[in-house]
Structures are given as C-alpha cells and as structure tokens.
Amino acid sequence: MSRIAYFGPQGTFTEQAARSLAGDEELFPVETISAALTSVRKGEADAACVPVENSVEGPVTATLDGLAEEAPLVAVAEALLPVHFTVLAREDVETVRTVASHPHALAQVRLWLERNLPEARPVVASSTAAAAVAVQRGEYDAAVTAPVAVEHYPLRVLATGVADVPDARTRFLLLRPPGRLPEPTGADRTSIVAAAANRTGALAELLSELATRGINLTRLDARPIKGNFGMYRFFIDFEGHVAEPRIGGALAALRRRCNNVRFLGSHPRADGVAATIEPGAANDDFVNADAWVDAVRKGELA
C-alpha cells in the first residue's frame, strides 16, 4: 500500500485535505512541511500533502521554499477546503483565559475571539492540533482547531463554524516525485517557479509570454533567494496543462528567458473552473499556426 505523509499532527486541516486526496492510500502525520517533503524525497512516503495558500493569509512560504529547493517534486492533485474552525476547551467558556492555535488560525478568528472570549489571551502554537494537545495537557484553556480535531482529542466543543471571513479557503497540494502527469481536463492548473534576471522589465517580460498566448494567471508570489540579497524567485500558477500547445510554448519561452525554471506540476483544479480562452488563443489556433509555418518552410504555402 502506498503512503502519504501530511503536515500534522492528527486533527489538522491538512489531514482533512489528505483524506480527500488519498483514496485507499495510508496516511501518516509528520511534524513539519519540510519533513513531509523530505519523506517523499527519501522514499519514506509515496506522496506528501501540504498547504500552499490561504485566501486570507496568503501563501504558505514553507511550502514554496521547500518546492524551490532540493530534489524536484510535482503537484498531481489539489484540494480546496473551506476554513471554518472549531473551538475546543477543557472547561466551560467562563473559565477560558488563554486560547492557543497556529498564527494563521488566530488571525482568521481574531474578531470572533474579541466578541466571544474578550478576556482570553491568544497564544501561538505550532499547529491547530498541537494547540488541542496543549489544552489536553492543561497548558492552555482552549484551542482553535480544524473540525476533524474532535475525532482525536476528547475536549469540550465550545463553538463550531467559527470564521471572521465566511468564505475563507485553503488550497492543499498532493506532491509526488516527477513521473507521469495527470491527463488534461480543460480545467487545469500549471505551476512553475522561475528566477528572472535582475534587470529592468524582467518580470514584465516573463508575464508577457503568458499574456501573448492568452494564458490567465491564478497566482503570483515572490520569495527571496537565500544567499542572494535582493534576488527573488517568482512562483507562478496559471490556467492550462503542459500537454497543451499554448502552455508548452509558454514554458519553452520562459525557459529561454529565465536564469532557472522549475516545473511544479499540471493537474486538475479543485474548483473545476475551466480555462479562459481568448480569441485566437485556443490550442487549435496554435496547432494550425505551426502547421502553416511548417508548410511555408517546405515551400507548400506562402
């Protein structure tokens, strides 16, 4: 049976995402995002499930940095989860003076805590599940957790469906070593990380390669390159699949323009949104244009 490592411990949103992506594969938690990626690179797991971005707090930088460095891993699937929290405690709400959770979770329930637990002091934990463990141990009074935490930790439920932003969501990736890619579906996402030259207009040139082919961006983030102050990598997600002529052409152009490009995967989008195709930018348009050029080279057309 194949195994999937996920950013744990048990009782996190990542466990929920891993369950939705796993099928009959065995799941096991690890302590950090880096450990999840390393377990795949070392062959201890067949895949890793990690968060990559949140609609409120933005990119998960540990995942981005981990994908840009060391042996390549590619995303073969994604999950998109609504982020609604459950508040667990040892005692009644009247006794709550400390509330622990991951920093992203605390940020997303700040207003709820101010309204409902105004006397409680927020405390940072390494994960939402680690906060629940700390409450069990008596270190804190309450924890802001993922809903799945109630299956693992015998604590009192103070509130469910807690979120300052009702439509907040987190996207998770299922990562494997490079190999056969998922087939294109028409509603796909391709991801790369690119290091552009340090000169005027370099980023604009990269984005123009996508724009001229009618390729729509879904995410753009920048991260510093360690050991090179002032140098950045750009993490770019866009609609489409590498098997498509227009996407393949864009990747080839980016490879020519950049100091380094790493392919991070092409896979179906969790939201099922089909790619936006501009006039003249359908795959058949690119195939027909290439066929015309080939005919001109052969002297068959002018």
What are 109-125's pLDDT values in tens digits? 999 999 999 999 999 99
Residue 297 lies in a domain: no
Percent of the chain scored above 90 by pLDDT?
Answer: 81
Residue 22 lies in a domain: yes
Co-location of 120 and 151 in the same domain: yes
Alpha-carbon span 133 to 13, nearest angstrom: 15
Contact 29, 149 (CB under 8 A): no
Average pLDDT over residues 222-241: 90
Average pLDDT over residues 243-267: 94
Co-location of 63 and 174 in the same domain: yes
pLDDT of 211 reads 94
Residue 136 lies in a domain: yes
More confident residue, 37 or 11: 37
Is the model's pLDDT at 8 over the cut of 90? no
CA distances, 53 to each of 11, 30, 121, 178 (Å)? 19, 19, 27, 22
Burial of residue 138, with CB atoms counted within 10 A of its CB: 0-12 exposed, 13-18 middle, 19 or more buried = exposed
Co-location of 190 and 280 in the same domain: yes
pLDDT of 181 reads 96
Co-location of 240 and 279 in the same domain: yes
Co-location of 133 and 238 in the same domain: no
pLDDT of 97 reads 94
Alpha-carbon span 280 to 20, nearest angstrom: 37
Residue 148 lies in a domain: yes
Is the model's pLDDT at 225 over the cut of 80? yes
Residue 195 lies in a domain: yes
Alpha-carbon span 112 to 250, nearest angstrom: 45
Q: How many domains does the chain have?
A: 3
pLDDT of 189 reads 98
Return the structure tokens found at 169.
Answer: 């969501």
Phi, psi dihedral angles at 222 (to 5 degrees): -120, 140
What is the domain-level CATH number for residue 263? 3.30.70.260
What are 282-298's pLDDT values in tens digits? 989 999 999 999 999 99
Contact 177, 75 (CB under 8 A): no
Co-location of 96 and 62 in the same domain: no
Final residue in a domain of this structure, among 133, 148, 180: 180
What is the domain-level CATH number for residue 109? 3.40.190.10
Residue 300 lies in a domain: no
Co-location of 121 and 49 in the same domain: no
What are 195-219's pLDDT values in tens digits? 987 888 888 999 999 999 999 999 9
Is the model's pLDDT at 1 over the cut of 80? no
Angle at alpha carbon of residue 12, lines to 170 and 149, rounded to 5°:
130
Residue 294 lies in a domain: no
Q: Which amino acid would we find at residue 45?
A: A
**pTM for the model:** 0.89
Question: What is the average pLDDT score of the chain?
Answer: 93
Is the model's pLDDT at 104 over the cut of 90? no
Alpha-carbon span 248 to 267, nearest angstrom: 14
Average pLDDT over residues 172-199: 94
Contact 259, 197 (CB under 8 A): yes
Q: What is the dihedral of CA 123, 124, 125, 126, to 10 degrees?
A: 180
pLDDT of 197 reads 78
Is the model's pLDDT at 234 over the cut of 90? yes
Return the structure tokens found at 238.
Answer: 């866009």
Average pLDDT over residues 259-264: 93
Q: How confident is the model at residue 126 (pLDDT cuts 50, 70, 90)?
A: confident
Final residue in a domain of this structure, among 128, 162, 196: 162
Co-location of 113 and 206 in the same domain: no
Contact 163, 85 (CB under 8 A): yes
What are 54-63's pLDDT values in tens digits? 998 899 999 9
Average pLDDT over residues 261-274: 96
Co-location of 174 and 127 in the same domain: no
Co-location of 157 and 29 in the same domain: no
pLDDT of 218 reads 96
Task: Look at 32-36, 88-92, 105-109 and tell me which has the smallest mean pLDDT.
Answer: 88-92
Co-location of 30 and 174 in the same domain: yes
Domain of 45, in residue numbers: 1-82+169-180
Residue 296 lies in a domain: no
Final residue in a domain of this structure, among 131, 162, 193: 162
The distance from CA 267 to its chain's CA centroid, rounded to whole angstroms, is 12
pLDDT of 229 reads 83
Co-location of 77 and 137 in the same domain: no
Q: 3-class secondary structure for the chain?
A: CCEEEEECCCCCHHHHHHHHHHCCCEEEEECCHHHHHHHHHCCCCCEEEEEEEECCCEECHHHHHHHHCCCCCEEEEEEEEECCEEEEECCCHHHCCEEEECHHHHHHCHHHHHHHCCCCEEEECCCHHHHHHHHHCCCCCEEEECHHHHHCCCCEEEEEEECCCCCCEEEEEEEECCCCCCCCCCCEEEEEEEECCCCCCHHHHHHHHHHCCCCCEEEEEEEECCCCCCCEEEEEEEECCCCCHHHHHHHHHHHHHCCEEEEEEEEECCCCCCCCCCCCCCHHHHHHHHHHHHHHHCCCCC
